[in-house]
Amino acid sequence: MKKYRVNVNGTDYEVVIELIDEAAASLQIAPEPAASHWSGEKILSPLPGTILDIKVSKGDAVTKGKVLFIMEAMKMENEIAAPRDGRIASINVSKGASVDFEDLLCVIE
Protein backbone atom coordinates (compact mmCIF):
# COMPACT_ATOMS: atom_id res chain seq x y z
CA MET A 1 0.00 0.00 0.00
CA LYS A 2 1.16 3.51 -0.79
CA LYS A 3 0.06 6.78 0.73
CA TYR A 4 -0.42 9.86 -1.40
CA ARG A 5 -1.46 13.42 -0.69
CA VAL A 6 -3.91 14.86 -3.22
CA ASN A 7 -4.96 18.49 -3.45
CA VAL A 8 -8.49 19.14 -4.73
CA ASN A 9 -9.65 22.76 -5.02
CA GLY A 10 -7.16 23.91 -2.40
CA THR A 11 -7.94 21.13 0.12
CA ASP A 12 -5.37 18.42 0.86
CA TYR A 13 -6.54 14.82 1.17
CA GLU A 14 -4.50 11.79 2.15
CA VAL A 15 -5.31 8.66 0.14
CA VAL A 16 -4.05 5.10 0.44
CA ILE A 17 -3.74 2.99 -2.70
CA GLU A 18 -3.31 -0.76 -2.60
CA LEU A 19 -1.25 -2.36 -5.35
CA ILE A 20 -2.85 -5.56 -6.60
CA ASP A 21 -1.59 -8.21 -8.98
CA GLU A 22 -1.79 -6.91 -12.57
CA ALA A 23 -3.28 -10.18 -13.82
CA ALA A 24 -6.07 -9.97 -11.26
CA ALA A 25 -6.70 -6.31 -12.11
CA SER A 26 -7.11 -7.05 -15.81
CA LEU A 27 -9.70 -9.74 -15.06
CA GLN A 28 -12.01 -7.42 -13.16
CA ILE A 29 -14.99 -6.52 -15.29
CA ALA A 30 -17.07 -3.43 -14.64
CA PRO A 31 -20.71 -4.22 -13.87
CA GLU A 32 -23.30 -3.60 -16.57
CA PRO A 33 -25.32 -0.44 -16.00
CA ALA A 34 -28.74 -1.14 -14.57
CA ALA A 35 -31.49 -1.34 -17.16
CA SER A 36 -33.90 1.55 -17.10
CA HIS A 37 -37.18 0.76 -15.38
CA TRP A 38 -39.05 2.84 -17.94
CA SER A 39 -39.16 2.02 -21.61
CA GLY A 40 -40.13 4.74 -24.05
CA GLU A 41 -39.22 8.40 -24.12
CA LYS A 42 -38.71 10.08 -20.77
CA ILE A 43 -40.13 13.60 -20.44
CA LEU A 44 -37.90 15.48 -17.99
CA SER A 45 -38.44 18.79 -16.26
CA PRO A 46 -36.66 21.52 -18.26
CA LEU A 47 -36.13 23.62 -15.10
CA PRO A 48 -37.02 23.67 -11.39
CA GLY A 49 -40.60 24.64 -10.62
CA THR A 50 -44.06 23.57 -9.46
CA ILE A 51 -46.54 21.44 -11.41
CA LEU A 52 -49.72 23.55 -11.66
CA ASP A 53 -51.76 21.19 -13.86
CA ILE A 54 -51.52 17.79 -15.52
CA LYS A 55 -53.35 17.73 -18.84
CA VAL A 56 -53.08 13.97 -19.55
CA SER A 57 -53.71 10.65 -17.80
CA LYS A 58 -51.92 7.32 -17.96
CA GLY A 59 -52.92 5.51 -21.15
CA ASP A 60 -53.92 8.66 -23.08
CA ALA A 61 -52.88 8.88 -26.72
CA VAL A 62 -50.97 12.10 -27.42
CA THR A 63 -49.77 13.83 -30.55
CA LYS A 64 -46.62 15.88 -31.00
CA GLY A 65 -47.10 19.33 -29.48
CA LYS A 66 -49.97 18.39 -27.14
CA VAL A 67 -49.59 20.11 -23.76
CA LEU A 68 -48.85 17.54 -21.06
CA PHE A 69 -48.13 19.75 -18.04
CA ILE A 70 -48.44 23.36 -16.94
CA MET A 71 -45.49 24.26 -14.76
CA GLU A 72 -44.73 27.44 -12.84
CA ALA A 73 -41.08 28.37 -12.95
CA MET A 74 -39.43 31.72 -12.41
CA LYS A 75 -42.89 33.31 -11.84
CA MET A 76 -44.06 32.23 -15.30
CA GLU A 77 -46.40 29.48 -16.44
CA ASN A 78 -44.67 27.13 -18.87
CA GLU A 79 -46.29 24.49 -21.05
CA ILE A 80 -44.50 21.15 -21.31
CA ALA A 81 -45.51 19.59 -24.65
CA ALA A 82 -45.18 16.11 -26.10
CA PRO A 83 -42.10 15.82 -28.33
CA ARG A 84 -43.71 13.08 -30.44
CA ASP A 85 -46.86 11.02 -30.94
CA GLY A 86 -47.40 8.17 -28.52
CA ARG A 87 -49.24 6.92 -25.47
CA ILE A 88 -48.67 8.00 -21.86
CA ALA A 89 -47.04 5.00 -20.13
CA SER A 90 -46.65 6.64 -16.72
CA ILE A 91 -47.08 9.95 -14.94
CA ASN A 92 -44.43 10.42 -12.29
CA VAL A 93 -45.52 13.70 -10.66
CA SER A 94 -48.68 15.06 -9.11
CA LYS A 95 -50.40 18.42 -9.24
CA GLY A 96 -48.73 20.84 -6.81
CA ALA A 97 -45.45 18.88 -6.73
CA SER A 98 -42.12 20.70 -6.70
CA VAL A 99 -39.71 19.39 -9.31
CA ASP A 100 -36.02 19.92 -9.94
CA PHE A 101 -34.19 20.21 -13.24
CA GLU A 102 -34.41 16.91 -15.17
CA ASP A 103 -36.84 15.20 -12.75
CA LEU A 104 -38.92 12.56 -14.55
CA LEU A 105 -42.38 13.95 -15.34
CA CYS A 106 -43.79 11.16 -17.50
CA VAL A 107 -42.94 8.50 -20.07
CA ILE A 108 -44.34 8.31 -23.61
CA GLU A 109 -44.30 4.96 -25.42
**What percent of the chain is modeled with pLDDT above 70?**
82
Tens-place pLDDT, residues 25-75? 555 555 555 445 557 899 999 999 999 999 999 999 999 999 999 999 888
At residue 95 the predicted structure's pLDDT band, cuts being 50, 70 and 90, is very high
Helix (H, G, I), strand (E, B) or coil at 25: helix
Q: Dihedral, CA atoms, 53, 46, 62, 59, nearest 10 degrees?
A: -70
Verdict on whether the full-model pTM lies above 0.75: no
Is the torsion defined by CA of 90, 84, 56, 98 positive or negative? positive
The secondary structure of 55-108, three-state, reads CCCCCCEECCCCEEEEEEECCEEEEEECCCCEEEEEECCCCCCEECCCCEEEEE
pLDDT at 2: 80
Instruction: Please give the Cα distance from 90 to 84 (Å, whole number).
Output: 15
